[in-house]
Amino acid sequence: MRTRSFGVAIVGLGGMGSEHARLISTLADMHIVGAYDIKPDRQVFAKDMGYHVYEQLQDVLADPEVHIVLIATPNHVHKEIAIAALEAGKAVISEKPVTMDSAELLEIYDVAKRTGQLFTVHQNRRFDEDFLVIKRLVDEGSLGTITHIEQRIHGSRGIPGDWRQQSEFGGGMLLDWGVHLIDRLLLMIKEKVTHVYCQFTHIHNNEVDDGFRLFVTFESGKTALMEVGTANYINLPLWYVTGTTGTAMIENWSMTGKIVHLMAESGHDAVPIVAGAGLTKTMAPRVDDSIIEEPIFRIASDVRDFYHNIADTLEGKAQKIVKDDEVLRVMRLLEAAFESDRTQQVVKFE
């Protein structure tokens, strides 16, 4: 039973700020008090939506109706807004990437600790159904011991918008999609990361990465490849995961894909097949009785649970699901990826 509804002010009412507003308008435990944006057209939009429009950030921070400041500005100002809001006694939800680097994040953590205010990050792609299916397969061990995880996000429209194309605002795809992919990987594989290698692409943009390939090695030898591309006219699958006794592939957000499990080793050796200009026995397809193929199962998920968790945490009934040490580890891995691209070396991690 909800005892209260928390007032939220959105700072930065652009694409994602508007999506937060839409989702929060459906909740019983939060409501929009108002919005602040530096662009006049976004202020007009806020007014048209019926929100109170603040003239400056200080007015947001002085409003006693505001319990939570939700930051959805470009990335370079997350830190200064978060610290100002925490100092004003507000809880803070920041968009990802939380900051430009881990040093900025630690500054925020210090202020959150001193003020005793809640600070967390909107890692909404933890609620993606494709991720939840892969996480369940990994958690339940139904592919055997996981050996390799590939996550890909492909598109062909280049980097969208304005600030995402410039480094001073925290642009580039590693800080954009990369944060989500790393966050999800580290939630699934709880091992120490030993090595990081990253290559950026600059197909349409020389200043920031318009895509990347990021290779991560864990202590046990498990590996992961995360790839984002903005000049891919044919998309590779979102997920391709191999374990010692199975493989899973999810092709797209419609959840097309399959899971193949090894049931038993067949008693006889493979028969060579003609493959291109040669023969192969090694790569001959399995005989049907040694594997079982399943469609991708479905998992119900509602991203609004992210906001419910924050309301519950503020009421002392829950722990925040996006935890400080998780966010910090993601930022450190991001930094290793930047270093690896810059030096074109494998970076030792942790």
For ligand NAD, which stretch binds (CB under 6 A), given 38-46, 215-223, 284-292, 305-313? 38-46
Nearer to ligand NAD, 168 or 191 (CB): 168
> For ligand NAD, what does the binding mask look like between residues 162 and 201, x meaning CB under 6 A?
-x------------x-------------------------
Q: Is 246 in the site for ligand NAD (CB under 6 A)?
A: no
Q: Is 72 in the site for ligand NAD (CB under 6 A)?
A: yes
Q: Could you tell me how far CA 39 lies from the centroid of its own chain?
A: 27
Burial call 67-79: b when 16+ CB within 10 Å, e when fewer = bbbbbbbbbbbbb
Residue of 89, 161, 221, 295 interacting with ligand NAD (CB under 6 A): 161
Nearer to ligand NAD, 100 or 314 (CB): 100
Instruction: Output the CA angle 62-68-72, nearest 5 degrees.
Output: 100
Residue with tokens 């007009």, as numbered in its chain: 44
- What whole-number distance in Å separates Cα of residue 270 and Cα of residue 331? 47
Q: Taking the CB of residue 246, how many other CB atoms lie within 10 A of it?
A: 20
Smallest gap from residue 77 Cβ to ligand NAD (A): 4
Instruction: Output the CA angle 188-193-194, nearest 5 degrees.
Output: 155
Q: Is 42 in the site for ligand NAD (CB under 6 A)?
A: yes
Residue of 2, 22, 39, 281 interacting with ligand NAD (CB under 6 A): 39
Q: Is 90 in the site for ligand NAD (CB under 6 A)?
A: no
Q: Can you tell me whether residue 318 is helix, strand or coil?
A: coil
Whose CA is closest to 43, among 87, 11, 69? 11
Residue of 11, 69, 111, 337 interacting with ligand NAD (CB under 6 A): 11
Residues near ligand NAD (CB under 6 A) are: 11-17, 36-39, 42, 72-75, 77, 95-96, 122, 124, 161, 163, 176
